[in-house]
Amino acid sequence: MNLNTLEKRLLNEFQRNFPLAKKPYAEIAMKLGVDENLVLQILEKLQSMGVISRVGAVFEPHRIGASTLASMTVPESELIAVADIVSSFVEVNHNYEREHKINLWFVVTARDDKHLQKVIREIEEQTGYEVMRLPMLENYHIDLGFDLKWT
């Protein structure tokens, strides 16, 4: 994947402290010395390439709505298809494979617990596999931003 200097700066410099402004992308553009439309075009390009999955706020769990970590045991031959179904739900932030019998993990976020349970039931119905709910018992802050090293 060949990213230019501007694309790399956008990815690296705005993982944290996203501007809380009426026009955040204009503010980012100003800091990068480019036009707001170019910033939006780059983000759209990076998303279509699969470099980023979303741009959005991350809230402390249970401050707004309800959420849970969830997992499934899926045969290897069906993993990609099941992961695609899981990812099709707007309530699913991301999913990933783990090398374990319980191999598909994801986070579900919803407006309230009733809707959260409904989404999980729908995932089970559409995939044919049981979802293990793993609600958070204790909160730990993990900074998911990191300095990107470009070779």
**CATH number of domain containing 105:** 3.30.70.3460
- Residue 77 and residue 37 share a domain: no
Residue 147 pLDDT > 90: no
Residue 62 pLDDT > 80: no
- Residue 125 and residue 73 share a domain: yes
The domain tally of the chain equals 2
- Residue 122 and residue 72 share a domain: yes
CA 54 to chain centre: 6
Range of the domain at 97: 66-134
| Inside any domain, residue 145 | no
Dihedral (C-alpha) 74, 76, 77, 78: value to the nearest 10 degrees? 30
Longest dimension (CA), the chain: 50
| CA separation for the pair 31, 71 (Å, rounded) | 40
| Inside any domain, residue 111 | yes
| Inside any domain, residue 124 | yes
Structure confidence at residue 126 as a pLDDT band (50, 70, 90): very high
| CA separation for the pair 66, 104 (Å, rounded) | 20
Are 109 and 67 a contacting pair, CB within 8 Å?
A: yes
Q: For position 150, what pLDDT does the model report? A: 67
Residue 71 pLDDT > 90: yes
- Residue 122 and residue 70 share a domain: yes
Nearest to 30 by CA among 15, 13, 46, 50: 13
- Residue 128 and residue 74 share a domain: yes
pTM of the model: 0.63
CA 30 to chain centre: 26
Are 104 and 72 a contacting pair, CB within 8 Å?
A: yes
Write the Ramachandran bin of 125: left for phi over 0, alpha for psi from -120 to 50, otherwise beta: alpha
- Residue 70 and residue 129 share a domain: yes
Average pLDDT over residues 34-45: 96
Residue 136 pLDDT > 70: yes
Structure confidence at residue 151 as a pLDDT band (50, 70, 90): low
Average pLDDT over residues 133-148: 75
Q: For all residues of the chain together, what is the average pLDDT?
A: 89
Structure confidence at residue 18 as a pLDDT band (50, 70, 90): confident
| Residue 55, amino acid | V
Q: Pick the residue with more confidence: 61 or 73? A: 73
Residue 17 pLDDT > 90: no
Q: How is the beta sheet containing 66-72 ordered, strand by strand?
A: 92-97, 104-110, 66-72, 132-134
Q: For position 144, what pLDDT does the model report? A: 65
